[in-house]
Amino acid sequence: MAGEVKKGIDTTKNAIPFEMAQIPGPEMAKTYMPKVIGAIIKKAKRPLLVVGAELFDDPVMFDKIIEIGKTGIPIAATAHSVKGFVDRGYLDNVYQIGLHPLTAHLRFDDWIGLDGKGNYDAVIFMGIFYKFANAMFSTLKHFNRNIKRVSIDRYYHVNADMTFGNMAFIPDDYHAAVDEVIEALKK
Amino acid sequence: MVTTKGSFAVEDMKNVQINIGAVVKEEEEWDQPMGPYPKPNVATLRDWDFKLANRYKIFYAPADDTCTLCTYGPCDLTGNKKGACGLDMAGYCGKIVLIACLMGCCAHAAHGRHLYHWCLDRFGDMKFDMGDEILVDSPLYQTIMGTKPKTLKEFGDGLSYVEEQVVQLMAATHTGQEGYYGDFESKALHAGMLDLLGMEICDMLQIVAYDMPRGAADAPLIEIGMGTLDQNKGVLIAYGHNLAAGAEAMIYAEANNLWDKVDIGGVCCTAHDLNRIGLAAGNPSIPKNIGMKPKVAGAMGWWRKMVRSGVMDCVMVDEQCVFCDVLEDTQKRKIPLIATTDKIMLGLPDRTNDPVDQIVDDLVNFKMPGVAVLDPKKAGEVGIRTAIAVKPKRSEAKAQNLITDTQFKEYLEKCTGCNQCVFVCPPHTNIGDLIQEAVKGNLEPFSALYETCVGCARCEEVCPQGIPIMDLYEYANRDYIKGQKFKMRSGRGPARDTEIRAVGAPIVLGTIPGVIALVGCSNYPKGTKEAYDMAKEFADRGYIVVTSGCMAMDMSLYTNEEGKTIWEQFGGAFDGRNVCNVGSCVANANIADAAIKVATIFAHRNHRANFDDIADYILSKVGACGVAWGPYSQKAASIATGCNRLGIPVVVSPHSVMYRRSFMGRMDKPEDWMVIDARDGKMQQIEPAPEAMLYIAETKEEAMLEMAKLCLRPSDNSMGRSIKLNHYCDISIKYCGKLPDDWHIFVRDAKDLPITYKDKMMKELEEKHGWKIDWKNKKITEGPLRPADVSFDPTNIPRKIRAKK
B64–chain A nearest CA distance, Å? 4
Residue A142 domain-assigned (yes or no): yes
Q: What H or E segment, with its residue span, contains residue B372?
A: strand B370-372
pLDDT in tens, B459-509: 999 999 999 999 999 999 999 998 999 999 999 999 999 999 999 999 988
- Which pLDDT belongs to residue A20? 84
Query: Would you say the C-alpha torsion B299, B305, B308, B309 has a positive or negative sign?
Result: negative
Residue A65 lies in a domain: yes
Q: What is the pLDDT of residues B229-263, one digit of tens each?
A: 999 999 999 999 999 999 999 999 999 999 999 99
Mean pLDDT of B781-799: 95
The dihedrals phi and psi of B248, each to the nearest 5 degrees, come to: -65, -35
Q: How far is CA B619 from the centre of its chain?
A: 19
For residue B625, list its beta bridge partners: B516
Q: Please give the angle made by the CA atoms of B292, B205 and B193, to the nearest 5 degrees.
A: 115
Distances (CA, A) of A130 to A90, B53, B180, B199, B524: 26, 28, 31, 34, 14
Per-residue pLDDT for A3 more than 70?
A: no
Per CB-CB distance under 8 Å, the chain A contacts of B76 are 25-27
Flag whether A21 is in a domain: no
Query: pLDDT per residue over B67-97, tens digit each?
Result: 999 999 999 999 999 999 999 999 999 999 9
The reported pLDDT for the residue numbered B283 is 86
Asked if residue A41 lies in contact with residue A187, where contact means CB atoms within 8 angstroms, the answer is no
Strands B779-782 vs B772-774: parallel, antiparallel or unpaired: antiparallel
Q: Which domain CATH number covers A55?
A: 3.40.50.1220
SS3 B58: strand
Output the pTM of the full model: 0.96
Topology agreement, domain B31-215+491-716 and domain B221-401: yes
Nearest CA in chain A to B695: A100
A170 found inside a domain:
yes
Q: Does A24 contact B741 at a Cβ distance shorter than 8 Å?
A: no
Helix (H, G, I), strand (E, B) or coil at B339: strand
Query: What does the alpha-carbon distance between residue A182 and residue B756 come to, in Å, rounded to a whole number?
Result: 41
- Which element (helix H / strand E) includes B60? strand B56-60
A57-104 pLDDT, tens digit each:
999 999 999 999 999 999 999 999 999 999 999 999 999 999 999 999
Put simply, the answer to whether B64 touches A111 (Cβ < 8 Å) is: no
Q: Please provide the CATH number assigned to the domain covering B221-401.
A: 3.40.50.2030
Q: In whole angstroms, give the CA distance from residue B660 to residue B420.
A: 26
Average pLDDT of span B734-738 = 98
d(CA B693, CA B662) in angstroms, rounded, equals 7
CATH of domain B31-215+491-716: 3.40.50.2030
The per-residue pLDDT for range B142-189, each reduced to its tens digit, is 999 999 999 999 999 999 999 999 999 999 999 999 999 999 999 999
Number of domains in chain A: 1
**Amino acid in the structure at residue B447:** S
Domain boundaries, chain B: 31-215+491-716, 221-401, 405-467
The reply to whether A2 falls in a domain is: no
pLDDT band at residue B19, thresholds of 50, 70 and 90? low
Question: Quick one: which of B405, B550, B479, B583 has its CA closest to B226?
Answer: B479
Does the structure's ipTM exceed the value 0.90? yes
> Does B17 score more than 90 pLDDT?
no
Q: Does residue A17 fall inside a structural domain?
A: no
Instruction: Give contacts of A109 with chain B, Cβ < 8 Å.
Output: none
**Chain B residues in contact with A91 (beta carbon < 8 A):** 738
CA dist list (Å): B616 to A146, B353, B640:
37, 52, 17
Restricting to A residues 69-128, those with a Cβ less than 8 Å away from any Cβ of B are 78-80, 82-83, 86-87, 91, 95-101, 103-105, 107-108, 111-112, 128
Nearest CA in chain A to B430: A169
Cβ contact B545:B518 at 8 Å: yes
| Strand, helix or coil for residue B85 | coil
Residues of A in contact with B666 (CB under 8 A): 104-105, 108, 111
Domain assignment present for A6: no
Q: How far out from the chain centre does Cα B652 lie?
A: 11
- Kindly write down the DSSP assignment for every residue of chain A, as one continuous string: -GGGS------SS--S-SSTT---SS--PEE--HHHHHHHHHH-SSEEEEE-GGGGGSTHHHHHHHHHHHTT--EEE-TTTHHHHHHTT--TTEEE--HHHHHHHHT-TT---TTSS---SEEEEES--HHHHHHHHHHHHHH-TTSEEEE-SSS--TTSSEE----TT-HHHHHHHHHHHHHHHH-
Range of the domain at A127: 28-34+45-186
Q: What local confidence, expressed as pLDDT, does residue A19 receive?
A: 86
DSSP H/E element including B214? none
